[in-house]
Amino acid sequence: MRDALGSVQSILVLGGGSDIAAATCELLAADRCRTVILAGRDPDAMEPTAQRLRAAGVTTVETVRFDADAPESHAEVIDGVFSHHSDIDVVMVAFGILGNQDELSADPAAAARLVGTNFSGAVSAALAVVPHLRRQAHGTLVFMSSVAGERVRADNFVYGSTKAGLDAFAQGLGDSLAGSGASVMVVRPGFVRTSMTAHMEDGPMATTAEAVAADIIAGLRSGAHTVWSPAKLRPVFMVLRHLPRPLWRKVAAAR
């Protein structure tokens, strides 16, 4: 349960190796968070982040094996976490794969696998979390969406479509939780300099994992249902979303 000042006391990260999630946990640690569970494919790879969080004062840091591509295992993994930690304030759905559009276009099976990770994996994991948040009657599911799903571009339309689907799922799930005490927060970053984008030139309004983390924490504090990061992307995409298709193609190609 959040403390009397509204600070998050505990977080489960699905995709515990994510740079944005690590930055978020480090900021939460500075704000008196006491429990972090990092769930990802390779617990050893998450250990450096776990050590940094312990050094930052988080008293309980655990790593758990979790694979978004194995939906049949999600309920067992998540039930296991909640059975050891009866109360979790935030569950962050942070995993994702960007992929390369040209390679995905040439390999339909790989495109379907990426959709499975980014969308089906998130649906399965989130639905396994929901009964626990309902039982607690509190807790926020944070979904890492993207502006790439707000208006899908030709140069990454497989990834963008997974974020569009994830965003829609998250919004509907949030509405279905109204009155339960549990909630959903959708995060829509633009281009963030992380491992995911290390091979790319900066996109427009590029930002850092730390800046996105600060926006996430502010959103959690204010009870926001949607967080744009940086915030100026919201008015920008209100316009871009409604551009006629020929104009949008030109704008997207020029970025």
Ligand X SMILES: NC(=O)c1ccc[n+]([C@@H]2O[C@H](COP(=O)([O-])OP(=O)(O)OC[C@H]3O[C@@H](n4cnc5c(N)ncnc54)[C@H](OP(=O)(O)O)[C@@H]3O)[C@@H](O)[C@H]2O)c1
Q: Which residue is associated with the tokens 């959040």?
A: 2
Task: With contacts defined by CB under 6 A, name the span among 34-42, 53-61, 81-89, 238-246 that binds ligand X.
Answer: 34-42
Encoded tokens for 110: 């790989």
Catalytic residue among 159, 169, 191, 228: 159
Distance of closest approach, residue 248 Cβ to ligand X, in angstroms: 19
Phi, psi of 61 (to 5 degrees): -125, 125
* Binder among 89, 191, 217, 233 for ligand X (CB under 6 A): 191
179/149 Cα distance (integer angstroms): 28
Per CB under 6 A, does 67 bind ligand X?
yes
* Active-site annotation holds for 100: no
Distance of closest approach, residue 21 Cβ to ligand X, in angstroms: 6
188/229 Cα distance (integer angstroms): 6
Using the minimum distance from each CB to ligand X, give the nearer residue, 15 or 219.
Answer: 15
Evaluate the CA torsion angle 52, 73, 133, 84 in order and state its sign.
negative
Task: List binders of ligand X among 83-102 (CB under 6 A).
Answer: 94-97
Q: Are 62 and 38 in contact (CB under 8 A)?
A: yes
Task: List binders of ligand X among 192-251 (CB under 6 A).
Answer: 192, 194-197
State the amino acid at position 156 in one-letter form. N
Using the minimum distance from each CB to ligand X, give the nearer residue, 1 or 45.
Answer: 45
58/27 Cα distance (integer angstroms): 11
Active site residues: 159
Give the footprint of ligand X on this chain (CB under 6 A). 15, 17-20, 40-42, 45, 66-69, 94-97, 117, 144, 146, 189, 191-192, 194-197
